[in-house]
Structure 1
C-alpha cells in the first residue's frame, strides 16, 4: 500500500513539474474580438467623415454605421534597467470596428459605404475574402482569427 501511495505521489509530482517547467510559455490574458476591423490610411482619412459597414458570412449578415476613431502609431521610448516603454502618437489614420456574433475562416463579403465631409456619398466598396487564422502567441495559446481590412481611394483590401 505504501508503494502505491509513493508511486502515485511521484507520478503527480512528475506531471506538475513538466507542466510548469521552463518549456511552457504563458499565454496573454486577452480575448479574441469577433469583428471586422477597417483602417482608413492617413492619405484617404480626410475624405471619409462617416462609414457604414455590412459583413456577411455563413448566411448571417451584420451591418451598422460604425464609429471612426483616430489611429495612432507606437513610438519607442527605449529601455532603462530592463524596463521598456512606448507612447502612442496620432498618425492621421482612422479606425472602425464592426462587431459580429461569430467569426470563422469561411468566406466573407464586406461592403463599405461612406460619406465625405461635405455630405456627398463616397463610392461603395465591396470585397470578398477569407479571414485569416494564426497563432500569434504560439499554438499552446489557441488560434486567433482576424478580418482586417484597409479602405483607401482604390477600394477595400485585406490587410497584408
Structure 2
C-alpha cells in the first residue's frame, strides 16, 4: 500500500473511532422550574382555604399567597399494542407553587401559614430541608433540583 492508501486508511480509522464508543442520548429541551411545590394532603385539604408560603435559601427569601388547585393522581389504563397512555384522576389534594429566583441543594427553610375554611388561622408550620438533586435523563444532561413539600394536620414534610 502506498502513502496515499496508508493516509486514506489512517483518516478513515480516526474518523470512525468515535462510532466505536457509547453514544449518549439526546437531552430533552426542558427547562427546570425554580419553585417550591406544596401538596395539601387529602385529609387536610378541606380545612385549608388560603395558604401563604415563605421560602428562604442562601440568604434570600421569597413569599406569597399560593393559588391552590385540585390535585390529581395518574391512572395507568394500560397499553393498546405499542401505544400507552395515562389519565389524571382527582385525588382530593390541593396543590400550589411558589416561584423562586434560584433553587439549589443548600438548606431551605419553609414557613406555611394561612386561613382555615371556617375563617380561623391555620397553625404556622415550618420545615428546614435540603432540596434533592437527581439526574432523570442521565448525568450527561445535568442535574435537576426539586423542592416539594406536603402539608398535613401534623405539619410540613419533604416529599420524596
TM-score, reference length from structure 2: 0.88
How far did 1:9 drift? 5.0
Q: Mapping of 1:143-154 within 5 angstroms?
A: 143-154=143-154
**Which residue is equivalent to 2:100?**
100
Are the structure 2 counterparts of residues 51 and 5 from structure 1 closer, same or farther at C-alpha, using a change threshold of 3 Å? farther
Q: 2:66 aligns to what?
A: 66
Say whether 1:77 aligns with 2:77. yes
**Other structure's SS at 1:72 match:** strand
What's the CA shift string for 1:11-56, capped at 9, x where partnerless? Answer: 2343256464xxx334333221111111111110111111110001
State the 1:8 CA deviation: 4.3
Listed one character per residue, the Cα deviations across residues 75-109 of structure 1 (whole Å, up to 9, x for unaligned) are 11111111111111111111111111111111111
Q: Which residue of 1 aligns with 2:88?
A: 88
Residues 105-114 or 135-144, more deviating: 135-144
Moved over 6 A (4+): none
Give the deviation of 1:143 after TM superposition. 1.0
Shift of 1:5: 6.5
Q: 1:56 — aligned with what? A: 56
Larger radius of gyration: 2
Q: 1:11 aligns with which of 11, 14, 29?
A: 14
Report the TM-score, using the length of structure 1 for normalisation.
0.88
Q: Secondary structure at the match of 2:118?
A: coil
Q: Separation in 1 of the partners of 2:118 and 2:13?
A: 74
Secondary structure of 1:11 counterpart: helix
Tell me how far apart the structure 1 counterparts of residues 159 and 59 of structure 2 sit (CA, whole Å): 23
Q: CA deviation at 1:6?
A: 5.8
The count of residues paired between Structure 1 and Structure 2 equals 157
State the SS of the aligned residue for 1:77. Answer: coil
Residue of structure 2 equivalent to 1:128: 128
Give the stretch that moved more between structures: 5-14 or 140-149: 5-14
